[in-house]
Chain A
């Protein structure tokens, strides 16, 4: 069974631009979560989607948004990029939102904002 896939793997953008990252969960997984990883802040939760609905959101500004499609694939968008948005963005999937289900992570998208 294929793992979580994320595209693109690397992105370079300039301040003020916007970016869209894509995530395809493991087949059969319907819950998708997004995390930001930076050297300074570590791993921080962005948001979680299940059945095309945002269930939970972390403490990030409104420039960060996401959505989930009917096939469980998810996208996240960052508008008006800032230098501090440079990070590894990780997508994770699980069967469904349950305390019993572990999350499986993709390889991440490394975003560099210049």
Chain B
């Protein structure tokens, strides 16, 4: 079975400060991990993915994520937060032997001006 957990429902950060949105995963095989962002009344936008290779993955809009196998984590990071980064962030893991995604419960990020 596979699942992801996002332990924080809400993260607040001041504009210009670094941000981290946490995600831990549980899979029975190789982890294929994704981050998506959702703005109000919109679908999900792909940010980045980890399939294999370097543990630090760079994605869209200045976001990056660090894959940590020993801690089974895939935290999303950005060095300097923008007010426009305020949105709902979802971590997801691909199903074992399947193409579908299992999503976390989401973390609402608020960047305070």
Q: Size class of B's contact patch? A: 20 to 34
Q: How many A-B residue pairs lie within 8 Å, measured between CB atoms?
A: 62
Q: Which residues of B contact A100 (CB under 8 A)?
A: 51
Q: Which of A14-22, A42-50, A67-75, A78-86 contacts B (4 or more CB under 8 A)?
A: A42-50
Find residues 70-102 in chain B having any chain A CB closer than 8 Å to their own CB: 90, 92, 94-95, 98-102
22 A-B residue pairs with CB within 8 Å:
A33-B100, A42-B103, A42-B104, A42-B106, A43-B103, A45-B101, A48-B98, A48-B100, A50-B99, A55-B98, A56-B95, A58-B100, A92-B44, A94-B99, A98-B99, A99-B94, A100-B51, A103-B99, A103-B101, A105-B43, A107-B41, A107-B42
**Residues of chain B whose beta carbon lies under 8 Å from any beta carbon of chain A:** 30, 32, 34, 36, 41-46, 49, 51, 90, 92, 94-95, 98-106
